[in-house]
Amino acid sequence: MRGALAAVALALVLAACATPPRPKPEAALPLGERAALLARQLTGTPYRFGGSEPQDGFDCSGLVWYVYRSLGVTVPRSAAEQQRAATPVAYEGLMPGDLVFFHTPSDHVGIYLGHGEFIHAPSSGRGVTSARLDSPYFLLDFAGAGRVAPGS
């Protein structure tokens, strides 16, 4: 009986000493997940046509350009060029960090966050915000999606 109690006590002590698993450092996350995290942190930044810096404000493609540039990846500056440069992705295959494109009525782009949500700089008077892909406005104007390559 003593041996069994000693074994249980030793197991409890060792379990208490074990360090819990640590979350992955942000740098170890895939590029798309890092892009989605950074984009979410920019929520509320004002809209500014032609803007591509947080202190000045963003337009939609400026937001994408800034996020990926901050992560060391070069992407084109306009939404149309970003769509041409990205590797096409099916709607069903979207992953965080993928770019989502719309005709609303001109070219528009956002960064997919996951679970049907994306972040974008919608228009003057509104700041960077999140929206749902399945909302009628965006679902009807969905023009495709693409993935940014890490070495771009």
115 carries an active-site annotation: no
* Domain boundaries defined on the chain: 29-147
17 carries an active-site annotation: no
- Reported as a single tens digit per residue, the pLDDT across 88-108 is 999 999 999 999 999 976 799
Exposed/middle/buried for residue 78 (C-beta within 10 Å: 0-12, 13-18, 19+)? middle
- The pLDDT score that the predictor gives to residue 17 is 47
108 carries an active-site annotation: yes
- Reported as a single tens digit per residue, the pLDDT across 64-75 is 999 999 999 999
d(CA 121, CA 51) in angstroms, rounded, equals: 10
Domain spanning 29-147: CATH superfamily: endopeptidase domain like (from Nostoc punctiforme) (3.90.1720.10)
Q: Which of 112, 105, 106, 104 is nearest to 86 (CA)?
A: 112
- Reported as a single tens digit per residue, the pLDDT across 4-20 is 545 444 444 444 444 44
Residue carrying the six token digits 């909302």:
135
Q: How are beta strands 142-147 and 87-89 bridged, if at all?
A: antiparallel
Q: Where are the beta strands (DSSP E) in the chain?
A: 52-53, 57-58, 87-89, 99-103, 107-114, 117-120, 129-132, 142-147
Q: Strands of 142-147's sheet, edge to edge?
A: 87-89, 142-147, 99-103, 107-114, 117-120, 129-132
- Reported as a single tens digit per residue, the pLDDT across 34-67 is 999 999 999 999 999 999 999 999 999 999 999 9
d(CA 63, CA 10) in angstroms, rounded, equals: 55
